[in-house]
Amino acid sequence: MSRMNLNVEILRRFTNNWMRTRVFKKRPVQPLILSYFVTFRCNLRCSYCDYTDSMYREKYPEVDTDYAIRLLEICRAGSPSLAISGGEPLLREDIVDIVRAAQHLNYKPITLFTNSLLLPEHEKLLDYVDFLQISLDTTDNAGQGAIMDHRKFTSIVKENIRKYARMQQKKRFKINVNCVVCENHINDALGVLDFARVNNVRFTLAPRLINEKPDAALVGNKKYEDLIQGIIAIKQEDHTVMDTYSYLSHIRLFLSFKCYPWLTPRIYPNGELLYPCHVLNYSTYDVLETGSWNKLEDTIMSNHGADVDCNKQCFLPCYLEVSTLLSDVFSSLKELRRL
C-alpha cells in the first residue's frame, strides 16, 4: 500500500468513526493509532512521569525482537498508524529493527517518542519514521535539568534537535518538540515554541498530569489559561503549533469530553493489551497468544459490547486529542490533512 493510500485509510476510518458515533451507535469505533510501549526502561527520571517506578519494568518485561515484530503484524489488521513509546524506546538495541518492520508492514504514519539522548547511536531509524517526537519542557538549562534529573539534558537535546531538524527534508520525516507544562515553569512553554519555530520543527504541549488527572495547581490557574489561549492565537497565524484547536480548548479549562479509548489501543512491552485503556482496564488480553486481531476484537466485543462509558476524564493527550477530533468532523479533517 502506498504512502498516499495509507493517509487516505486514516481519513476514511476517521469519517467512518464519526458516522458510528453519530448514527450507528451500536458499532464500535475503529482504531486509528496503535500505541506500542516497547519498554518501560528509561535513562531519565522525569518528575512528572510514573513509569520511572520499577514496578512497570517488573510487571511488563519486554518481548524479544521476533515477538515484537509479530505483535506489529497482528495489530496491523486493526490499526493503520503506529506510535512507539516507552520508557525510552532507544534503550532497546533492536529499535531500528522494530521500526523498519513497522514500515514494511505499511503502518503510516509511524511516530517515535524519545528524549533523543541516544539518537546519535540509532540514526538509521530516521529512514523509517514519519514523526519524531522529542521532549523539551523548557530551554532553561537549570530548570530542565531539575525536571529530568540530568544536568546537561537541555544543551544536548537542543543540539540534537538542531542537528536532526536539518535532516528532515532529506530523510522525509518531521520533528515535534513536546513540552509538558508544570506550575513552576508555565511561561517557559513559549520559549520552547520559539525554539521550535526558529529550528523549523513543530510544537506540541501537554499539561502535567498526576495519576492521569490534571495537576490541581493548573486547574483554574489564570497564568496557565492565558498561556493556552495565547498558543491558540499563535496557531491561527503559525503552522508551528500542531495540537488541534479542540485539544487546546479542552486542556485550557479542562473541559469534560466523551472519550473513545479504542481509537488508540495500547500494547505494553510484554504484549498485553489493556482494554479499553490502562485507566479503566476492564480486561487484559495477551495479543501474541490470541494470534489474530479479528479474534481479539470479536472477544472484546463479546465480553464488553461496543460502547465504553468513561467518566474518568484522565486528559491523557493520546485519548483526549483523538476523541475530541470526532466532535467537529469538518474542522478535524482540516487538522488531519496537516499530517
What's the CATH number where 99 sits? 3.20.20.70
Residue 6 has pLDDT above 60, yes or no: no
* pLDDT at res. 147: 64
How many C-beta atoms lie closer than 10 Å to residue 273's C-beta?
23
> What is the rounded average pLDDT of the residues 216-232?
97
| Beta-ladder partners of 179 | 205
- Over residues 100-148, the pLDDT tens digits come to 999 999 999 999 999 999 999 999 999 999 999 999 998 887 666 566 6
pLDDT band at 177 (very low <50, low <70, confident <90, very high): very high
Burial of 181 (C-beta count, 10 Å sphere; 0-12/13-18/19+): buried
Helix axes 65-76, 293-304, angle to 10 degrees: 70
* pLDDT at res. 5: 41
* C-alpha dihedral (15, 262, 31, 290), degrees to nearest 10: -150
The rounded mean pLDDT for the chain is 89
In the chain the beta strands, taken as DSSP E runs, fall at: 33-37, 81-85, 110-114, 131-135, 174-181, 202-207, 209-210, 213-214, 266-267, 272-275, 283-286
Domain encompassing residue 95? 3-337
> What is the rounded average pLDDT of the residues 238-242?
92
pLDDT band at 11 (very low <50, low <70, confident <90, very high): confident
Counted domains in the chain: 1
Q: Residue 303: in which H helix or E strand, if any?
A: helix 293-304
| Of 330, 279, 265, 246, nearest in space to 36 by CA | 265
Q: Which amino acid is at 281?
A: N
Sequence-distant (≥ 6) Cβ neighbours of residue 201 within 8 angstroms: 161, 165, 168, 174, 175, 176, 177, 240
The residue assigned the cell 508555565 is 186
- Maximum CA extent, the chain: 53
At 204, list the grid cell.
Answer: 506540541
